[in-house]
Structure formats: structure tokens, C-alpha cells
Amino acid sequence: MKNIYLPILMLLTLLSFDAVGQGFPAITEYRTVGGEKSWQDVDSWQAFVKTSNADPGSWQENIAPGNTDIGASGTIYGYVASSLSLSFQQGASLTINPACTLVVIGDLTFLGNNSSINIGEGGILVVSGNLTTDLNNLAVGNNGKVAIGGDLITGTGNTGSVDTSNGDLYVIGDTDTPSTTGTIGDGDALRTDVTFADFVNQVAPAILPVNLLYFTATAQPQSVEIKWAASKAWDFSHYELERSRDGQHFNYIATIDAEENTDYLTEFSYTDLQPVSGTSYYRLKAVDIDGRFEYKQIAVVQFAGTAQLKVFPNPSSTGSFQVAYGGASEGAIVTLKDQAGRTVRTQEISDGQRSISTKGLPAGLYILTVRSAYENAQEQVIIK
């Protein structure tokens, strides 16, 4: 993904504006000084200042393009990112040139009418919030891509149109379009466009259905505490926790339910009461309401304690032993041997605690052994 977009990020970024309503009537064009630039940094920008029609003008540094309230049309060259919402006034249009990119972490709003949003061939527009076109038109060119994390809000009646016949438009939230040519994909469709989804996830993670903030695993004296938080979720069902000893082969350990749609920070926790000793890997699986899933992060933890084998009641006269073993949650074999060393019972346990039948066995002393993939434990037991 980085190889695809790195040439774009390294290009000089140029933003040209008409000299209408900017507060700088002599400024006819804006551009960045080079490289990947932030919209809000005044040091990123140069402006072409024309004092009169007869004066060709000159470039001056450190003149920003009206910050977030824009009263003139503009053209994006290269890669520009805004950490704040942007608002274009009536009559101000936006053009993203071919193979160029605009990322807005927030809302992008066009007011009134007589404006348009044009995405050139291979151009990209990512808006983490709402895109409001009001009474204006949105056109996506050949292989152009637009991702909207919130809603697409257009004008009422027959004014305002969306044309995606030559490109791709994905809307996670709701759409309100009086006239649409082509199709509008939802969040599921965005995830099927793997390369673009990876790019979106890098530049504006709130676009994707679950915005995970952190995922940690911390060893406690007798357990492992797992915590994570998400700031937003759309059409979401639940999380699944998995554990591994080698970081490659994972086993399911728990399901944690979540709200279907949230736009606020939500924290989660789970305590693994049967951790395995040594290094363990915990993986978080996010599942949507349609059953589609995505692995989010892996947390690594070093648990110093050893798995404790507990057999009860001991001695037993009930016809069985209860066997609890920390390493058994990923599978273990229990064997019961008499004093002559003969195996009289063999059973697999896989959920941390199982009942081992002693019916038919004579009273006496036995050796109970538990063997897992990672360690062994044994205990003397007595059958009365």
C-alpha cells in the first residue's frame, strides 16, 4: 500500500484558489512549499500575490488558504490532509486532480448552490465525518475513490446529483441523494476493496466500522487482564478473544458483546483465569452483524506463574474426581495410573475443569497426570 501512494505523498502539493471572498483579493493561487502537507499549517503554504492586472505578481510564503472557511474554488495537486472540518461557501467548487488526494478528518461541507466536487482520474477523497453537498453536484472520475465515514447529505428536490459511474463511492453512514448515476457502496463494500480500505485505515481510521484505540494484555498474579477501547462502531455485533503460544495458531477463549452502533468511546475488559505460563499471544477479532470479521490487534504477555493442578475431592468416595488445570483450556490429556504403573483411565479435558470417573476402580492410591502441549503436572489421589 505504501509503495502505491508514496509517490503521491512525495509530490509537491499545490492548491489553487480563485480570488473571491478569501480576504486576500490580490491572491490568485495557493500552493504548498513541497512534500506531504497539513492544511492547517501556515508554513505549508505559499500564495501568488497579484497587486493589479498589469502586475504579474510574485510568490509569498506563510499565507494559508483561508484555513477552514473557504470562499473560493480550489484545485488539489498532490496530497493534502486537514485535521479539521472544511466548509466551502456558495459558488466555491473543489477539484481533486488526477492521482491526487485530499483527506479531511472531520466534515466537508459545501453551502448553497453553483458549486461542484470533481474527483479526477485516480483521485482520492477521504472524509471521516459527513460530506454535505447541499444543492451541488459530486462527480467521481475514472478509478477515482471516495470514502465517507459519516453521512452523505445532498440537496432536496431535483437539485444536486451524485455521479459514480466511472469511480467508487463508499458511505458508512446514511445517504440522501435525489439523483444518483452509478452505485454507492456501503461499509461492507469498502472492506472488499482491500487496497483502498488499507489506505483509508491508515489516514483516517474512524472511517472503518470499528475504530480500535488500544488493545493490551497484562499479567496478574493468577490471571491475565485484557483491555481494549473503541471510539466508534457501525453495524457491529461482538468481539472474540483468541489465545496462542506461538503467535500463529490461535484458539478461541471468549465472546464479548458490544453495541451495534456507537459514536463515543467504549472500553472493554476480560480476565483470563486460565492463562498458560510463559509467553502468550492474545488476538482480538471484530465481528459485524452480517458475520464478516476482521482481526484487529495482537497483544503479547509474559505470564510468570505456572498452571496449577487441582484435584477435588481428594480423597474421593463420590465415584469421580474434578480436575482443574490452567493449561487445559487449550487441550490436555489426563491419565490415571495405579500403584503398579498401569493406566486405568485416559481422558481429554479442554475447558479447564472436567470430571474424571473412578467407577469400577478399587480403593487405593493412584497417580493422576495431566499432559498439555506446553507442560505436565501430576497429583497423588486416593479412591475410598
Contact between 75 and 93 under an 8 Å Cβ cutoff? The reply is no
Give residue for cell 459558488: 91
Lowest mean pLDDT among 69-73, 223-227, 293-297: 69-73
Contact between 160 and 178 under an 8 Å Cβ cutoff? The reply is yes
Give residue for cell 477552514: 68
Q: Return d(Cα 169, Cα 175) in angstroms, integer.
A: 11
Average pLDDT (200-213) is 69
pTM (2 d.p.): 0.51
Beta bridge partners of 268: 228
Return the C-alpha cell found at 45: 503554504
Signed CA dihedral, 211, 216, 217, 221: sign only: negative
- Per-residue pLDDT at 243 exceeds 70: yes
Dihedral angle, C-alpha 293, 299, 303, 307, nearest 10 °: 10
Alpha helices in 68-207 (DSSP H): 187-192, 194-203
Return the C-alpha cell found at 200: 483509508
Return the CATH class of domain 209-303: mainly beta
Q: Which CATH architecture has domain 309-383?
A: Sandwich (2.60)
Lowest mean pLDDT among 2-16, 146-160, 166-180: 2-16
Could you give the count of Cα atoms lying within 13 Å of 238 in the half-sphere of its Cβ?
Answer: 7
> How would residue 207 be classed by pLDDT, with cut points 50, 70 and 90?
low
DSSP secondary structure code for residue 158 in this structure: T
User: Taking the CB of residue 344, how many other CB atoms lie within 10 A of it?
Assistant: 14
31 vs 264, residue with greater confidence = 264
Where do the structural domains in the chain lie, given as residue ranges? 2-206, 209-303, 309-383
Q: Return d(Cα 193, Cα 179) in angstroms, integer.
A: 25
Could you give the count of Cα atoms lying within 13 Å of 297 in the half-sphere of its Cβ?
Answer: 15
User: Taking the CB of residue 148, how many other CB atoms lie within 10 A of it?
Assistant: 26
Q: Return d(Cα 57, Cα 51) in angstroms, integer.
A: 6
DSSP secondary structure code for residue 40 in this structure: T
Let me know if the fold of 209-303 is the same as that of 309-383.
Answer: yes
